[in-house]
């Protein structure tokens, strides 16, 4: 799940999707989410798009890579290429930085999830660290750390993510609705539920309004401090 707010200063706020899904039905499904400099992430995604349609000698393409690991390499190299090009013009690389999350599956292998750094290297989610966050992540992290359970249903995971994003919404202007989501079910090799949840979504309103009371009840359920 990703929010859609980008900003260049407080008075220049726009809505852009930060989620991109590529698929070859029955063969591979890829989901890429982006955080950081919008010019960088848009350029990286455009390059990945172009190269997936280009003649074979101009690839490597994310639609061709033999494994998720190789796919992550292509995405990471493309990201570093864009950042290096920008910062090669006498400006600091940090200003053009971006971080990506890439998840997906290629037929014959299990689904894999990567966090890709602006330096062009990446790490993979494992059992001990089964999820990644990028961007303005601190406000929404405690509820994920506490309530995430690898055995939870997709429906409960949606609820948890909306609660987590709602916590960030309430605290930080750089994160904003609507939220894009993609639920990929392992071994289906086709995109799953995809959609967008806005502030006016009745379910989101129920969760957002109900969470304050639910938290207060949770606090009340703990014993009171005694001096």
Binding site for its own copies (CB under 8 A): 138-143, 145-147, 149, 153-156, 158-160, 162-163, 167-168, 170-172, 183, 193, 203, 206-207, 210-212, 214-219, 221-227
Beta strands in 67-159 (DSSP E): 98-106, 112-116, 122-124
Q: Which is nearer to its own copies, 110 or 202 (CB)?
A: 202
Compare residues 89 and 153 and give the one whose CB is closer to its own copies. Answer: 153
The single-letter DSSP state of residue 75 is: H
Between 66 and 212, name the residue whose CB sits nearer to its own copies: 212
CB of 16 to its own copies, least distance (A): 23
Shortest separation between residue 141's beta carbon and its own copies, angstroms: 5
Nearest approach in angstroms of CB 181 to its own copies is 10
Please say which residue, 26 or 142, places its beta carbon nearer to its own copies.
142
The residue to which tokens 């919404």 are assigned: 169
Q: Are strands 13-15 and 28-36 parallel, antiparallel or unpaired?
A: unpaired
Whether omega for the bond prior to residue 199 falls within 30 degrees of 0, making it cis, is: no
Say which residue the tokens 């009745």 belong to: 202
Q: 129 in helix, strand or coil?
A: strand
């Amino acid at each position: 799940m990703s929010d859609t707010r980008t900003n260049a200063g407080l008075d220049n706020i726009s809505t852009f999707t930060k989620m991109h899904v590529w698929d070859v039905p029955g063969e591979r499904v890829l989901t890429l989410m982006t955080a950081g400099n919008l010019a960088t992430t848009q350029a990286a995604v455009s390059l990945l798009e172009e190269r997936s349609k280009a003649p074979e000698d101009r690839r490597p393409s994310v639609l061709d890579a033999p494994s998720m690991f190789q796919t992550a390499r292509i995405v990471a190299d493309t990201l570093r290429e864009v950042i290096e090009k920008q910062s090669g013009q006498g400006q600091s690389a940090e200003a053009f930085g971006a971080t990506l999350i890439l998840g997906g599956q290629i037929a014959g292998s299990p689904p894999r999830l990567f966090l890709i750094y602006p330096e062009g290297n990446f790490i993979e989610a494992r059992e001990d660290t089964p999820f990644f966050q990028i961007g303005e992540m601190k406000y929404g992290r405690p509820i994920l750390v506490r309530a995430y359970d690898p055995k939870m249903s997709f429906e409960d995971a949606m609820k948890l993510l909306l609660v987590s994003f709602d916590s960030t919404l309430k605290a930080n202007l750089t994160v904003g609705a609507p939220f894009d989501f993609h639920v990929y079910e392992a071994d289906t090799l086709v995109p799953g539920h995809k959609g967008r949840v806005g502030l006016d979504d009745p379910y989101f309103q129920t969760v957002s309004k109900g969470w304050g009371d639910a938290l207060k009840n949770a606090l009340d359920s703990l014993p009171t401090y005694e001096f």
